[in-house]
């Protein structure tokens, strides 16, 4: 139970060696104004000599609070998808609030551009130290982040990227690859002569980059292999269960050789119900670890879910900002999430 011996490579030691006060050392460490080039150089040399690494514990204890803002979609009744990211943010929050970090959460409506703009303005007024956001509305997000750049506020994109707008980091799925993986699964669970059906279900599919990229990836898999597998597709824009069922019934009646359905988003549990009512037992692959889908998976009505840990995405987004703000450490510019395959027999162990 000996007392810790004092550290001999801290600011004190640097100050002693440089014959200055620790205040001056602090100024150099943080690149603040008001140090003569001469003493600055002298101190920097010593810092390198000692291989100085700041004690983050002491740093966080002594310094002012760090504020991180998050801007993500509201949990809607259309989908509970955004529950997990919110939980992920909460987890990050509870881990780092002890380190003198505060997280302010903002939400926008995915069907309402203006809500995105309004919330982003609110955030800017608060001048946070960093921002995590889902840039669903590209033009508006570009305007927003332009202002961030101007104010020197770092920002991280999650779930979808704007490659042209340089961010601290993008954390999210690789959509093409996840569609490609679906193709891979299909090649295992169907015969070459079996046809498959792609289902895009959304009010405006054209604007849903997610859906388009996944379909591309899926088709890419078969194209790359010169496969002649027949791929049917329907775009369903009226998203009430009845309309969906009608459209599915029509296609299946027309194409009897369809053995597998691939739903390009989280709406797969609705399709599962349709198939049940139509009394068709086909293989069903879809996306996302959300409650409704898990229920269908358990019941055996969905065969495979492809998931990309949205909770962890958000958690990592916050942590990335924290690490950058506190440690000024290097940040991976793009972080693709793993592409997980979930079945009835491993969902119990999955952590979203």
Partner DNA sequence: CTGAAAGCGCTTACAG
> Using CB under 7 A as the criterion, which residues of the chain lie in contact with DNA when the complex forms?
1-4, 6-7, 10-12, 19-24, 26-27, 29-30, 33-40, 52, 54-55, 58-59, 61-64
Tokens describing residue 15: 């100050």
Among 19, 55, 121, 243, binds its own copies (CB under 8 A): 55
Chosen from DNA, its own copies, none, partner binding at 329 (C-beta under 5 to 8 Å by type): none
Minimum gap (Å) between residue 97 Cβ and DNA: 13
Residue in 73, 157, 89 with CA at minimum distance from that of residue 334:
157
Exposed, middle or buried: residue 212 (CB in 10 Å: 0-12, 13-18, 19+)?
A: middle
Long-range Cβ pairs for the range 250-257 (8 Å, 24+): 251/197, 252/197, 252/278, 252/280, 255/195, 255/197, 255/230, 257/193, 257/194, 257/195, 257/230
Minimum gap (Å) between residue 88 Cβ and DNA: 27
Q: Does 221 bind its own copies (CB under 8 A)?
A: yes
Minimum gap (Å) between residue 216 Cβ and its own copies: 14
Q: Does 340 bind its own copies (CB under 8 A)?
A: yes
Chosen from its own copies, DNA, none, partner binding at 185 (C-beta under 5 to 8 Å by type): its own copies
Q: Which is nearer to its own copies, 44 or 100 (CB)?
A: 100
Residue in 204, 257, 195, 197 with CA at minimum distance from that of residue 233:
197
Using the 8-state DSSP alphabet, how is residue 97 labeled? Answer: G
The continuous run of DSSP H or E covering 22 comes out as helix 22-29
Minimum gap (Å) between residue 241 Cβ and its own copies: 27
Q: Does 92 bind its own copies (CB under 8 A)?
A: no
Residue in 132, 126, 124, 66 with CA at minimum distance from that of residue 100:
66
Interatomic CA distance for residues 6 and 277, integer angstroms: 73
For the four alpha carbons of 277, 280, 284 and 286, in that order, the dihedral sign comes to negative
Per CB under 8 A, which region of 71-79, 114-122, 293-301, 343-351 contacts its own copies? 343-351
Minimum gap (Å) between residue 305 Cβ and its own copies: 11
Q: Which is nearer to its own copies, 116 or 218 (CB)?
A: 218
Interatomic CA distance for residues 53 and 309, integer angstroms: 34
Q: Which is nearer to its own copies, 3 or 38 (CB)?
A: 3
Instruction: Note the residues at the interface with its own copies (CB under 8 A).
Output: 1-4, 55-58, 60-61, 64-65, 98-100, 174, 177, 180-181, 183-185, 188-189, 221, 283, 303, 336-341, 343-346, 348-351
């Amino acid at each position: 139970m000996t007392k810790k011996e004092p550290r001999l490579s801290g600011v004190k030691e640097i100050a002693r060696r440089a014959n200055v006060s620790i205040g001056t050392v602090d100024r150099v460490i943080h690149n603040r104004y008001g140090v003569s080039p001469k003493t600055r150089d002298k101190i920097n040399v010593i810092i390198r000599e000692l291989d100085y690494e700041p004690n983050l514990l002491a740093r966080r204890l002594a310094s002012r609070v760090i504020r991180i803002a998050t801007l993500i979609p509201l949990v809607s009744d259309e989908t509970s998808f955004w529950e997990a990211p919110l939980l992920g943010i909460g987890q990050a929050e509870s881990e780092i609030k002890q380190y003198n970090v505060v997280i302010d959460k903002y939400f926008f409506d995915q069907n309402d551009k203006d809500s995105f703009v309004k919330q982003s303005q609110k955030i800017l007024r608060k001048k946070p130290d960093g921002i995590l956001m889902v840039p669903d509305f590209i033009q508006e997000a570009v305007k927003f982040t332009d202002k961030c750049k101007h104010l020197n506020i770092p920002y991280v994109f999650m779930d979808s990227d704007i490659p042209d707008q340089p961010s601290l980091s993008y954390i999210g799925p690789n959509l093409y690859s996840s569609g490609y993986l679906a193709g891979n699964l299909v090649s295992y669970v169907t015969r070459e002569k079996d046809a498959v059906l792609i289902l895009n279900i959304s009010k405006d599919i054209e604007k849903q980059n997610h859906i388009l990229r996944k379909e591309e990836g899926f088709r890419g898999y078969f194209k790359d292999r010169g496969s002649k597998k027949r791929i049917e597709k329907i775009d369903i824009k009226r998203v009430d269960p009845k309309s969906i069922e009608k459209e599915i019934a029509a296609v299946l009646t027309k194409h009897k050789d369809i053995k597998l359905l691939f739903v390009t988003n989280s709406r797969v549990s609705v399709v599962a119900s349709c198939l049940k009512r139509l009394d068709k037992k086909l293989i069903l692959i879809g996306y996302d670890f959300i409650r409704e889908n898990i229920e269908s998976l358990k019941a055996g009505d969905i065969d495979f879910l492809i998931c990309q840990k949205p909770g962890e995405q958000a958690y990592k987004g916050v942590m990335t900002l924290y690490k950058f703000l506190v440690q000024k450490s290097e940040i991976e510019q793009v972080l693709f999430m793993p592409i997980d395959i979930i079945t009835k027999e491993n969902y119990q162990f999955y952590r979203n």
